[in-house]
Chain A
Amino acid sequence: MSILSAEFRGIDFFGRFTVETQEQYVPWHMTLGFARQTFDESRHTLLNMKLLEHLGSHLGEYPDIILGPQRGGEIPEEELDPAILLARINVALEGFALTTFEEIRALARDLGEELIEHCHDYNMADEVTHVALGDYWLERLSQEQPWRKDRARAAQEEFEKMLSMVREMAANFVGATAGGSNQNGGTPG
């Protein structure tokens, strides 16, 4: 259910990103790339809705359970720099999602849930493309502006720490200490 919620947010985020970044005069083929990603996120949403039905549930049976801070009020102007958004969402968040998908895929394989295993394999292939797309455009947009690259890198580092913290909280919730995990969000699992 939380993955389905994330996919819904993916449509919202990348739909807006595709449209709103055009006001910042980004190259037209970047716009095309992110229009394609928005389409991918719609497919992922549909896929997860069908998987939920396959498991005997339906949309609305469970609440939206995305963890993490919710932003209220004005977002500072510099945080809307596409380079920062790419660093946080495409590179950090979607990169992190690869581990999550792999874990679900392995669990599904152990349980003999072939459909879930297959769908997460499919979904993961798209996520790799999304990370690559984000990394490429982050580099292109900031190649003449080292300060912009540094700012995006700092935003990514802060975002990674938040993701690692959420994962560690989940580990603590199930009663395991994550003391031996590495410094890079690699809580053992």
Chain B
Amino acid sequence: MAYVIDQDRCINCWWCRRACPTDTIHYFDQPNRKHWIDPEGCIDCDICAQVCPMDCIDHHPEITPPPEKLEAAKARARAWAGDRRRLKLAVRGYAEAQVLRIAGNGKRENGNGAD
């Protein structure tokens, strides 16, 4: 099983390539200057198909990559997911700290004015 890009409709926006958790979407090494999914790294996560603005990525159940390649790809995806979670928490923590800082400043200004 793997996903396949319809290259006639692809506009090379590189969104799928940025989003792919296993890094299996290629562009710069492609002689026809089009995005291409290397099926050996595709774990069928569907992320690329969901982000593609041209709706030109489809699931092809008949393609079967070797199991050992799939295991390696899944390990890459797990590392990616862990990192994604850490970043989300860090962004949230940073945003909350900023809100508290701004709210704190406002309180001091108001307090100074009232006293």
Answer whether A187 and B87 are a contact pair too, CB < 8 Å, given A102-B51, A182-B23, A182-B80. yes
- Cβ-based interface call for B21 (8 A): yes
Instruction: Verify B80–A95 contact, CB threshold 8 A.
Output: no
Residues of B within 8 A of A131 (CB): 11-13
Instruction: Verify B18–A174 contact, CB threshold 8 A.
Output: no
Kindly provide the distance from the CB of B41 to the nearest chain A CB, expressed in whole angstroms.
11
- Cβ-based interface call for B19 (8 A): yes
Instruction: Verify B14–A96 contact, CB threshold 8 A.
Output: yes
Instruction: Verify A180–B25 contact, CB threshold 8 A.
Output: no
Of A95, A102, A188, most buried by chain B (CB within 10 Å of CB) is A188
Answer whether A175 and B12 are a contact pair too, CB < 8 Å, given A180-B82, A186-B18, A188-B87. no
- Cβ-based interface call for B79 (8 A): yes
Map CB proximity to A onto B21-61 as digits: 1 under 8 Å, 0 otherwise: 11101001000010000000000000000010110000000
Answer whether A128 and B83 are a contact pair too, CB < 8 Å, given A182-B21, A186-B20. no
Chief secondary structure at chain B's binding surface: helix
Of A131, A136, A180, most buried by chain B (CB within 10 Å of CB) is A180
Task: Give bound CA distance, A143 to B40, whole Å.
Answer: 31
Task: Give bound CA distance, A182 to B84, whole Å.
Answer: 11
Answer whether A99 and B84 are a contact pair too, CB < 8 Å, given A153-B33, A182-B21, A189-B91. no
Instruction: Verify A98–B20 contact, CB threshold 8 A.
Output: no
Tally B residues with Cβ within 8 Å of A.
33
Kindly provide the distance from the CB of A91 to the nearest chain B CB, expressed in whole angstroms.
6
Map CB proximity to B onto A135-178 as digits: 1 under 8 Å, 0 otherwise: 11001000000000100010011001000000000010011111
- Cβ-based interface call for A15 (8 A): no
- Cβ-based interface call for A2 (8 A): no
Residues of A within 8 A of B87 (CB): 171, 174, 176, 178, 187-189
Answer whether A91 and B80 are a contact pair too, CB < 8 Å, given A176-B86, A182-B18, A187-B87. no
Residue of A nearest to B80 (CB): A180
Task: Give bound CA distance, A51 to B112, whole Å.
Answer: 32
Instruction: Verify B84–A180 contact, CB threshold 8 A.
Output: yes
Among A92, A132, A160, A180, the residue within 8 A (CB) of B11 is A132
Residues of B within 8 A of A96 (CB): 14, 18
Question: Could you list 7 further interchain pairs (A-B, Cβ under 8 angstroms) beyond the known A182-B80, A186-B23, A188-B80?
Answer: A132-B11, A176-B89, A180-B82, A184-B14, A185-B14, A185-B18, A188-B84
List 4 tightest A-B contacts by C-beta distance, closest first: A180-B83, A188-B84, A176-B90, A95-B13
Between-chain CB contacts (< 8 Å), 17 pairs: A91-B12, A98-B15, A99-B18, A102-B51, A128-B13, A136-B11, A139-B33, A174-B91, A174-B94, A176-B86, A176-B89, A176-B90, A176-B91, A180-B81, A183-B23, A186-B19, A189-B84
